[in-house]
Amino acid sequence: MKRLSYLLCLLLLALLIPATVAAAPPLQTGRNYTVQADDTLGKIAEKQYGDPLAFTAIVYYNNLKATEDDSLTLIEDPNVVEPGSTIYLPTVEEANSYLIGNIPGGVYNEAPILAEMVAAGELPSVDERLPDNPLIIPVVEEIGQYGGVLNRGFTGPSDHNNYTRVVYDALVRYSPTGAEVIPHIASGWESNTDFSEWTVRLRPGAKWSDGAPFTADDIMFWYNDILLNEELTPSGLTWMKNPDGTTATVEKLSDYAVKWAFATPNTAFLLDLANKDGADAAISNLVFVPAHYLKQFHPTYADQAELEAKVAEAGLNTWTELFSREALPHLSGKRPSMAAWAPDGTSVSDPIFTLKRNPYYIGVDPAGNQLPYIDEVRFTQYLDRKTLNLAAVEGKIDMQGRHIDMNNYPVLVQNAEANGYRVITWPAFGGSEAVVMFNQTWAGPEVEMFRNKDFRIALSYAIDREAIKQLAFLGVGEARQGVPAPFHPYYPGDEYAFKYTEHNPDMANQMLDEVLPNKDANGFRTLPDGSPLDIELGVVPEQFVDWPSIGQLIVEDWAEVGIKAHIELRERTLHFAMRPANELMAEIWNEDTTGFPFSGQPKFDPRSDPALCFAPLYGKVVHQ
């Protein structure tokens, strides 16, 4: 079977290319070409074929040949071609064949389990299931094999992020390095000159996991019937708001094109869109939803008596409760999905939450194999993190970082060979696994010190990070400020990454003597008015890192320089409720979002939700 590959590309009219071009002399076709500094695929296509939209033919034939010719560069994003890379330019005849739709069918492969369903008449052929321009997903190591189950562990209904991070499929997404946004479910986009209007192009022929068409109507339903519905979204959505508080408009241009229009330039639009993965915990953030499925739960479309009966049958009180449940795949269990795997009727409330392969998934590998390779993703619920980690040690979990306790690293390594798994120390993408955050809007007298830069620097110098690394992280990792990792494009450099991280109690004492010179009978420093200072560090136990132990080490280090502090352990839900209410004096949490400082709701930004306790009252004012 001929090995063909397709890449995401913009929808274009099927126009024949003229055999000759009257403008600049054409490039030689049917050969390899080295991309020049000022080249774009559109410019190359216009020079060669007289039509910039013919770049899709270049993408198609280049990626076809790249599967067999290692000298060619696979074009993953038509908007980005690197100078110096080598691509293939098709002949005029080849390009014409592509543009008028003469590429032969039957070129895609599929999972054996789906092939059996096709043979039994239960599914359309794979060519019919895929969109006109499938998403091509690059190979990391090698072409995969179909089949198998991916086993993961989760801790119950509140652990929904365990699911969403496996099925992340947004209209656009971050590249693997996080350095740029690339097309995904959408095939591409354009903006006007001042970036206040953005047109997002969809893939003709794309389908939901139940086979229903995925079109602009699924975005418009989200906009008109969820975002603008005050019962479902009473406060609106921050990233969709104009500076004057009004909501940006969304307009259907065609079945496969949608335009966002903001009152002012919005250069962060694509960054925001990349974080809306269709499986968010907040339905207002979904951006695209299966309108054909959800209309039965919405009073604008459903028969009132039938809807009330559905609400009663579900044991709920209002249509909004039912709609909110059914809009989220991990709660519904039945809602169609655009992700590679879709729930099979189970949900995060079940002991085993199962996702089955989506037979209509839009992605293929460079050899034309419809993805995913894996048949099923199975989440087994464990009583707590300890039992989940025990299952990992026993080899019952196939791939997972979430909830794996660093304290178990020696045990995991010791049992790896016997139980058939590998232990990989994965570098954090951004930020830190443990940060101390002081509340800048705290209502108590301590806030004067929290706002004092020298006070904060002194407490940083007082912390023995090497001791924490050895005791809490078993010597693995690197002590640095909460900045992006060295391999990240936003890494600020060593000067800022390691600023104030030196363990220097003498410097800490010297600086504290300037701001808090007075001490009580026990040697602890007092506030300027003579009142005691006792910093409460809010900590949630049984989370991603052993924060209670880290906090206790910090408390002891601060005591050495005359600062009294103590740990206050709270359940996660209570901690999260106290944070925006301005009831946390200080906290220890992770800061893993500095890799996305302009989007993704970075935790250090008080406007985010959730945000660390840096300045919760400021965040509340911004959202009013």
Could you report the per-residue pLDDT of 209-255, keeping only the tens digit for each? 999 999 999 999 999 999 999 999 998 888 899 999 999 999 999 99
For the chain, give the number of residues: 624
Domains 151-363 and 432-622 share a fold: no
Number of H helices, E strands in the chain: 22, 18
Beta carbons of 8 and 136 less than 8 angstroms apart = yes
State the architecture of 432-622 in CATH terms. Answer: Roll (3.10)
pLDDT score of 23: 36
Residue 593 pLDDT > 70:
no
User: Could you give phi then psi for residue 437, rounded to 5 degrees?
Assistant: -125, 125
Could you give the CA distance from residue 72 to residue 87 in angstroms, rounded to a whole number?
5
The C-alpha atoms of residue 12 and residue 514 are separated, in whole angstroms, by 68
CA neighbours closer than 13 Å in the CB half-sphere of residue 201? 16
* Mean pLDDT, range 72-77, rounded to an integer: 84
Place of tokens 């992280």: 473
Question: Nearest-5° angle of CA 69, CA 72, CA 77?
Answer: 130
In a 10 Å sphere around its CB, with 0-12 CB exposed, 13-18 middle and 19+ buried, how is residue 547 labelled?
buried
Pairing of the two strands 363-364 and 135-136: parallel
- The pLDDT value given to residue 48: 84
Q: Which of 109-123, 160-174, 433-447, 569-583 has the lowest mean pLDDT?
A: 160-174
Question: Of 139-143, 263-267, 597-601, which one has max mean pLDDT?
Answer: 263-267
Nearest to 497 by CA among 479, 511, 510, 513: 479
Model pLDDT, residue 140: 74
Sign of the Cα pseudo-torsion (321, 327, 330, 332, in order): positive
What integer pLDDT is reported at residue 619 of this predicted model? Answer: 67
The pLDDT value recorded for residue 280 is: 56
The CA distances from residue 620 to 13, 176, 571, in Å, are: 49, 34, 23
Instruction: Enumerate residues 6+ apart whose C-beta is below 8 A from 354.
Output: 343, 344, 346, 376, 377, 378, 379
In the predicted model, what is the mean pLDDT of residues 94-109? Answer: 60
Q: How confident is the model at residue 9 (pLDDT cuts 50, 70, 90)?
A: very low
User: For position 156, what pLDDT does the model report?
Assistant: 87
* Annotated domain spans of the chain: 1-107, 151-363, 384-424, 432-622
pLDDT tops 50 at residue 110: yes
pLDDT band at 310 (very low <50, low <70, confident <90, very high): very high
Per-residue pLDDT of 461-489, as tens digits, reads 999 999 999 988 888 888 888 888 787 77
Q: Are 398 and 377 in contact (CB under 8 A)?
A: no
pLDDT at 237: 85
CATH of 151-363, one of 1.10.1530.10, 3.90.550.10, 3.90.76.10, 3.10.20.340: 3.90.76.10
Write down the residue that tokens 């005791």 correspond to: 471
User: Which of 220-229, 275-284, 326-335, 416-425 is least confident?
Assistant: 275-284
How does pLDDT run across 510-566, given as a tens digit for each residue?
999 999 999 999 999 999 999 999 999 999 987 778 899 999 999 999 999 999 999
Q: By three-state DSSP, how is residue 184 classified? A: coil
